[in-house]
Amino acid sequence: MGNTSSMLTQYDTEEVQSHCQDLCENFPPRNLSVSSVMCLIRYSQQEILSLYQRFCQLDRNAKGFISSDEFLSVPEFSMNPLSLRLLKMVDGLNFKDFVAFLSAFSAKASLKQKVKLIFQVYDSDCNGKVSFKDVMEVLRDLSGSFMSDEQREQVLSQVLNEAAYTCDSFLTLEDFIKVFGSCKPEMDVEIPVD
């Protein structure tokens, strides 16, 4: 996608679509970088065009990626308690990886893909394991100063014990998928198509 005009050719859209699909095949499953997360869904041409327009709109000086500052200039994003965590995942992505990241939010994405994204948000150090501390940190982002650390620890230990885990156990992606079971997280965002 070399040119900066808002025109994508058919080749470009097909490239993005296959990038999304290839990623799972080319990257080894242990590599939990953002781009390997959610693929295997085929965005329609129209959706890719809309996403491209949006990407160009956010990327103000046509650098080919969106900087943190530009993400934070969207007030709705800035107000989100998890914005900083997500920012680490989306900052500096080029368009293809941007689409790959957002593919978890498509209605066509599978349960596994959605849970994978949630897992990645927790696993900020990308070591494939989510510890008690990681979950605590996300809880802290979500509840802010309205819950004390003790209350958070109490809640977390309680639910962990009930689910037959201990406070020292590490949760892997498989554990996450097991916890979700057949409950697909409601994480669908429709892409507006003009």
- Where on the chain is the footprint of other proteins (CB under 8 A)? 51, 54, 57-58, 60, 71-83, 86, 90, 102, 105, 114, 117-118, 121-122, 135, 138-139, 142-147, 151, 154-156, 158-160, 162-163, 165, 176, 179-181, 183, 185-192
CB of 1 to other proteins, least distance (A): 18
Sequence letter at residue 119? F
Closest CB to other proteins among 20 and 28? Answer: 20
CB of 83 to other proteins, least distance (A): 6
- Over 5-63, what HEC string results? CCCCCHHHHHHHHHHHHHHHHHCCCCCCCHHHHCCCCCCCHHHHHHHHHHHHHHCCCCC
CB of 69 to other proteins, least distance (A): 10
- How wide is the angle at C-alpha 10 spanned by C-alphas 8 and 14, nearest 5°? 105
CB of 18 to other proteins, least distance (A): 22
Closest CB to other proteins among 28 and 75? Answer: 75
CB of 30 to other proteins, least distance (A): 22
3-state SS assignment for residue 67: coil
Q: What are phi and psi of 171, to 5 degrees?
A: -95, 130
Closest CB to other proteins among 40 and 177? Answer: 177
Question: What is the total residue count of the chain?
Answer: 194
CB of 107 to other proteins, least distance (A): 12
Residue 79: CB atoms within 10 Å: 8
Closest CB to other proteins among 25 and 76? Answer: 76
Closest CB to other proteins among 15 and 141? Answer: 141
Q: Tell me which residue of 134, 74, 70, 65 sits closest to 99, measured CA to CA.
A: 65
Residue 106: CB atoms within 10 Å: 23
Closest CB to other proteins among 162 and 168? Answer: 162
